[in-house]
Structure 1
Amino acid sequence: MDGVELQILWSNLIGIVSEQARALQRIAFSPIVREAGDLANGLFDENARMVAQAVTGTPGHINSLAAAARNLLAHTDMDQLKPGDVLITNDPWMSAGHFFDITVISPIFRDGRIIAYAGSTIHHSDIGGYGIGSGARDIHEEGLWIPVMKLYEEGKPNETLFSIIKRNVRTPDALMGDLGAQVSSGMIAAERLNALCDRYGLDDISTLSEEIISRSEKATRDAIAKLPAGTWHGASTFDVPGGEVIELTTAVTVDPEKGEITIDFEGSSGPSAMGINVVPAYTHAYATFAIRSTLNPDLPNNAGSLAPIKLKLPDECVVNARYPSPVNARHVVGMYVPFPILKALAQIMPDAVIAEGSGAVWTIQIQGKDASGKPFTSSMFNYSGGMGARAQKPGLSAICYPTGVSAVPVEVLEASYPIAFTCKELERGTGGEGRQPGGDGQRIGYRMRTNSRWLLNTIPSRLTRGPEGIFGGGDGAKGVFRINGEDVTDTRKREMNPDDEVFMITPGGGGYGAA
């Protein structure tokens, strides 16, 4: 396939998955999907290899979705799939690591045979059980577990599954609306992909997908081949809810001859009793993101460009969760995975890495009854701190790195839930000093507009130690979490009074280079 033809078809594929994602966001009910973009959309070939991803979405979702498609289809009788079938699961070990993230895969048919699959993963507003916090003692306390099933069969809804889902969640209308958005986005992808085949006279996309994936893999291996051979080490230490200290250590081995990079997490903290354990697919998602974003960020993210990056995970490790470990707040550790890898890469690619940032977004979930007595359960909303400084630029302030989700505007939150914000502004001076300073965190305060007690689930991190600077740069400021003016470290789900005020300052990012 010549370069011009490939570029035209590639642009069409990106247009398809991006339209798929835009449709999902437009149709979705929950602010976390509609406003924050906590989602992933991908297009897969008939062998379940990810060919293209949408231009919006999070690394934790999109790279987990790449694994989820293979896992779902490995548990499905492919010969029994028919037009109108839609597969679903939220199995943490098959998809994105916790019950809230539901993956939907739709086979795309042409002339009676499957030519591709459209997939999406989004964070849903509620899945029953404990909620988004880290306080559950095992996975069965965390919510509804959906095995690989057909959500739709030949275009007809699986009414039994729908009934089970609706009966087990607190906000069934929002969840069913968001599921409908996922199914609709898959239908749009199928329609557009068949139109592409009609337009260019293709029977399927097998030749196109092979060309894209093989070229991407070769380009990645060629980039790795330019690096020096050897093993480099990095470590990152941070505190999580309840004051537990987690250490992630990595040995990054570069093999230029094979064109491969292997990341070994030997020496990292063991499993946690809290729900912060990370399944391998989610660890892989953020580990590959760290490599891809420094090595060749302009290269398409697909099965080919991910293939040369390998992981080794110890059996007893916080980033290799085993059943029945609780995992609902897996992002609290998972979003720190890039930092020890970047520290290792800094020794051979100093201009391509960044200093440590605030890490995991601070997630909040509120439940209760408004002033009229109507129940509410918020979908998760996030607050970010400062990003680590870069070699040639300061770190960005109040940015969700590495996850990439947007902040839901306070106006949207106040219109959706009985919440009133007392402040939301940058906390100047929290970024670490350096030749390039780290980004600043932010201060947020809020109380609830309710006459009754309400429940708060919050998951802050870095309350005792701030992000480290790099190459002599200063450390970023640690975070602050207070209720009614008093510092709080135990942030498991708690009952709150109507007039209680929550106040937070998110951490700043580390600086780059001595000032």
Structure 2
Amino acid sequence: MDGVELQILWSNLIGIVSEQARALQRIAFSPIVREAGDLANGLFDERARMVAQAVTGTPGHINSLAAAARNLLGEIDVADLQPGDVLITNDPWMSAGHFFDITVLSPIFRGERLIGYAGSTIHHTDIGGYGIGSGARDIHEEGLWIPVLKLYEAGVPNHTLFEVIKRNTREPKAVLGDLGAQVSSGMIASERLNALCDRYGLDDISALSDEIIARSEAAMRDSIRQLAAGTYRGSTAFDVPGGQTIELKTAVTVDAEAGEITIDFAGSSGPSPSGINVVPAYSHAYATFAVLSTLCPELPNNAGSLAPIRLALPESCIVNARYPSPVNARHVVGMYVPFPILKALAQVVPDRVVAEGSGAVWTVQVQGRDAEGRPFTSSMFNYSGGMGARAGKPGLSAICYPTGVSAVPVEVLEASYPIAFTCKELERGTGGHGRQPGGDGQRIGYRMRTGSPWLLNTIPSRVTTAAEGLAGGGAGAPGRFEINGKAVSDTRKMEMQPDDEVLMVTPGGGGFGA
């Protein structure tokens, strides 16, 4: 396939997945999807290899979705699929790591022939159980577990499954509405892919996907071959709710001859009794993102570019969760996975990495009844701290590397839920000093307009351990979590009073260079 033809077809594929993502966001009910973009969309060939992804989304969803398609199809007989079928699961070990993230996979047919799949993963408003937070003691306390099933069969909805989901969630309208958005986005991808085949006289996309994936893998291997062979080590430590301190250690081995990288997490903290354990697919998602964004950021993110990066996970490890470990707040640890990898890569490509940042986004969920007595459950909303500095640029403020999820605007939250914000501003001076300073965190205060007690789930981290600087740069400031002016460390689901005020000051990022 010549370069001009390939570029034209590739641009068409990117247009398809981008339209798929835009449709999902436009149709979605919940602010976390519609406003914050906590989602992933991907297009797969008939062998379930991810060929293209939408630029909107988070690495934890996108790279997990690449594995989810293979995992889902491994549970069924592909020969039994027919036009109008839609597959669904939220199995943490098959998809994005906790029950809130539901993956929908729609087979794409050209006539009666299966030519690919459209997939999406989004964070749903509610899935029953404990809610957002790390307080569950095992996975069965965390909500509704949906195995691999058909949400639609030959275009007919699975009414039994819809009723099960409806009866096991606190906000069924939002959950079912967002599921409808996922199904609709898959239909759009199917229509557009068939239109592409019509336009260019293709029977399927097998030759196109082979070319794209082969070129992506070759380019990734070439970028790895430019590194000095060897094993490089890095580690990071951070505190999580309940006073735990977690340590992640990595040994990054560069095989320059084969063009492969292996990341070994031996020596990292063991499993946690709280819901911050991370399933392998989610660990792999953020590990591969750290490598790709450092070595080859312009490369398409697909099955080819992911193939040369491998993980070695110890059997008993917080980033290798085993059933029935609670995993509800897996992002609290998972979003720190890139930092020890970047510290290792700093020994071989120091000008391409970033210093440690604030780590995981601080997530919040509020539940209760409004002033009129109507029940509400918010979808998760997030607040970022400062990003670590780069070799040639300061760290960005209130931007949380490595996730790509945005903050929901306070105006949207106040219009959607009985919440009133008392402040939202940058916390100046919280970024670490250095030749390039780290990004600043932010100050967010709020109270509820309920007139009655309400429930708060929140998961701050880095309130005692600061983000380290790199190459002589200074550490960022730790965060603060306060209720009515008093510091709180145990943040399991709390009953709050109507006049209680919450204050969150997110951590700053580390500086780069002395």
TM above 0.5, yes or no, is yes
Q: Quick one: distance in 1 between partners of 2:255 and 2:164? A: 49
Deviation at 1:243, TM superposition (A): 1.1
Secondary structure of 2:242's counterpart equals helix
Residue aligning to 2:54: 54
* Aligned residue in 2 for 1:250: 250
Name the SS of the counterpart of 1:339 in structure 2.
helix
1:178 equivalent in alignment to 2:160: no
Describe the SS at the equivalent of 1:443. Answer: strand
Determine the structure 1 residue equivalent to 2:99.
99
Query: What is the aligned partner in structure 1 of residue 427 from structure 2?
Result: 427
Q: Distance in 1 between matches of 2:81 and 2:25?
A: 27
2:387 aligns to what SS in structure 1? coil
Shift of 1:404: 1.0
1:504 is aligned to 504
Q: Does 1:219 align with 2:219?
A: yes
**Partner in structure 1 of residue 456 of structure 2:** 456
Please tell me the residue identity of whatever aligns with 2:177. G
**C-alpha distance in 1, partners of 2:355/2:401?**
12
Instruction: List per-residue Cα deviations over 1:16-74 (Å, max 9, x = no partner).
Output: 00000000000000000000000000000000000000011000000000000000001
Per-residue CA distance 1:69-109 (angstroms, 9 max, x = gap): 00000101111101000000000000000000000000000
TM-score under structure 2 length normalisation? 1.00
Deviation of 1:139 (Å)? 0.1
Aligned position for 1:86:
86
Which residues in structure 2 correspond to 1:92-491 (within 5 Å)? 92-491=92-491
**Which residue of structure 1 lines up, in the alignment, with residue 23 of structure 2?**
23
> How far did residue 254 of structure 1 move?
0.1
1:473 is aligned with what amino acid?
G
| Counterpart-to-counterpart distance in 2, 1:462 and 1:412 | 28
Q: Matched residues, percent identical?
A: 83
- Residue 71 (structure 1) aligned with residue 71 (structure 2): yes
CA distance in 1, matches of 2:243, 2:233: 26
- TM-score, normalised via structure 1 length: 1.00
Letter in 2 for 1:142: E
Report deviation, 1:225: 0.7
CA displacement, residues 126-160 of structure 1 (integer Å, 9 cap, x when unaligned): 00000010000000000000000000001010000
Amino acid at match of 1:116: G
Query: Following TM superposition, by how much is the alpha carbon of 1:111 offset from its aligned partner in structure 2, in angstroms?
Result: 2.2
2:109 corresponds to which letter in structure 1?
F
Distance in 2 of aligned mates of 1:427 and 1:215? 45
Distance between the aligned counterparts of 1:372 and 1:401, measured in 2?
Answer: 40
Q: Structure 2: how far apart are the matches of 1:437 and 1:120?
A: 37
Write out the 4+ residue segments of structure 1 that deviate beyond 4 Å after TM superposition: none
Letter in 2 for 1:310: R
Query: The residue matched to 1:242 in structure 2 has which SS?
Result: coil
- How many pairs align? 514
SS at match of 1:499: coil
Structure 2 residue matching 1:105: 3-state secondary structure: strand
Alpha-carbon distance in 2 for matches of 1:438, 1:219: 32
Question: What SS class does the counterpart of residue 401 from structure 1 fall into?
Answer: coil
Mapped to 2, the partners of 1:170 and 1:241 lie a distance apart of 25
Q: CA separation in 1, counterparts of 2:145 and 2:303?
A: 27
Q: Residue 44 of structure 1 corresponds to which residue in structure 2?
A: 44
Work out the CA distance in 2 between the residues paired with 1:257 and 1:404.
33
Which letter does structure 1 place at the counterpart of 2:317?
C
| Unpaired runs of at least 5, structure 2 | none
How far does residue 465 in structure 1 lie from its aligned partner after superposition?
Answer: 1.2
Give the CA deviation at 1:307.
Answer: 0.1
Shift of 1:395: 0.2
Structure 1 residue 451: Cα displacement: 1.0
SS of 1:137's equivalent?
A: coil
**Which residue of the partner structure matches residue 34 of structure 1?**
34
After superposition, give the CA deviation of every residue in 1:452-507 in whole Å (9 maximum; x if it has no partner): 10000000000111100000000000000000000000000010000000001000
Deviations 1:198-224 (A, max 9, x none): 000000000000000000000111111
Q: Counterpart amino acid of 1:248?
A: L
Q: CA RMSD in A?
A: 0.3
1:400 deviates by 2.4
Partners of 1:98 and 1:214 lie apart in 2 by 32
Q: Provide the C-alpha distance between the structure 1 equivalents of 2:303 and 2:333, rounded to a whole number of angstroms.
A: 25
Look up the SS of the partner of 1:421 in the other structure.
strand
- What is the rounded CA distance, in whole Å, between the counterparts of 1:35 and 1:174 in structure 2? 14
Determine the C-alpha separation between the residues in 2 that align with 1:400 and 1:157. Answer: 39
Distance 2:107 2:504 in 1: 45
Shift of the alpha carbon at 1:186? 0.1
Tell me how far apart the structure 2 counterparts of residues 426 and 242 of structure 1 sit (CA, whole Å). 26
Q: Secondary structure at the match of 1:350?
A: coil
Secondary structure at the counterpart of residue 481 of structure 2: strand
* Matches of 1:379 and 1:407, distance apart in 2: 12
> CA-to-partner distance for each residue in 1:428-462, whole Å, 9 max, x for gaps?
00000000000000000000001110000000000
Letter in structure 1 aligned against 2:464: T
Question: C-alpha distance in 2, partners of 1:211/1:355?
Answer: 36
Distance between the aligned counterparts of 2:215 and 2:290, measured in 1? 21
Q: Show structure 1 runs of 5+ residues with no match.
A: none
CA distance in 1, matches of 2:73, 2:353: 36
Q: Is the 8 A contact 2:357 2:400 kept in 1?
A: no
